[in-house]
Amino acid sequence: MKRHLITTLLFTVALHAADPIHVLVWDEQQPKQSQGYGDKFLGDTIAAHLSTLPGLSVKSTNLNAPEQGLDDATLDTTDVLIFWSHVRQKDQDDARVEAVVKRVMDGKLSLIALHSAHWSKPFVRLMQERSKADAMKEMPGVQWEYTNDKPYGIVKPKVARITPFIEKGEGNTWKLTLPQCVFPSYRADGAPSHVTTLLPDHPIVKGLPAVWDIPQTEMYGEPFHVPSPDEVVFEEKWDKGEQFRSGCVWKVGVGRVFYFRPGHETYPVFKQAEPLRVIENAARWLGADVAH
């Protein structure tokens, strides 16, 4: 009897260890992607690559799918959501966004936001929630009033300070201006960038050189209006002097979010080995401890 129980236990452990990480690649599928990816979309290119790798079960979807590809049944069987969006942020369904946010905060889903998904509703909402948690930890026991809470940062208002920031309200009330997830400058001129690994022992950098280049990319310039990351994995620089925190990790609730800056639609960034390795490593790391 004891031998039977031990055999059953070992089989169960082995079966669990062999379970793949379930990855969903979500892509707005902007027509301009054809400039960098030909007859494939950017998201399909990423999904096709990840599908060739052991230990990953990969699907792709897009904004035009039923329930925008983010229905409850799909999310409930997804460990890692890879998200690329750009000009149709306003079209992202708020209910589906909140379904993603809740699962990340509950530790049932991890989010990888790529490039212009810094303005996507899921990423901005999660940065808002992280900012609220940071503020409450810094100043417990006070009443909070939130500003810049809609429409999830997809409109770029002019601000004099880097968001998020805290200021005194009336009485026991304090105001938290939520992050806009924007930055002051960008250049879509295709100039090369130089990526430096800042955390050489991090799982996301496994198999990557300490320094590597992206031959053609869009430039984003700091300051990035986000809460302070828990980890800054990569720094990216350009020959004209700009720099950006191009690989950042946050814990939000009990889940994790990773933002990776490269990935402009007209340059074939995700045909290059190094960015693809970043996404693979991130998917494996973030998906390993997701609880369903």
Has residue 194 got a pLDDT over 90? yes
What percentage of the chain reaches a pLDDT higher than 70? 89
Task: Tell me which of 14 and 72 has the higher pLDDT.
Answer: 72
The answer to whether the beta carbons of residues 23 and 59 sit under 8 Å apart is yes
pLDDT digits (tens, 9 = 90+) for 257-274: 999 999 999 999 999 999
Has residue 13 got a pLDDT over 90? no
Q: Residues 77-89: what's their mean pLDDT?
A: 94
Q: pTM of the prediction?
A: 0.91
Q: Residues 157-162: what's their mean pLDDT?
A: 70
| Mean of the per-residue pLDDT values of the chain | 90
Has residue 66 got a pLDDT over 70? yes
What local confidence, expressed as pLDDT, does residue 161 receive?
A: 87
Has residue 115 got a pLDDT over 70? yes
Query: What domains can you pick out in the chain, each with its CATH number?
Result: 2-126+184-288 (3.40.50.880)
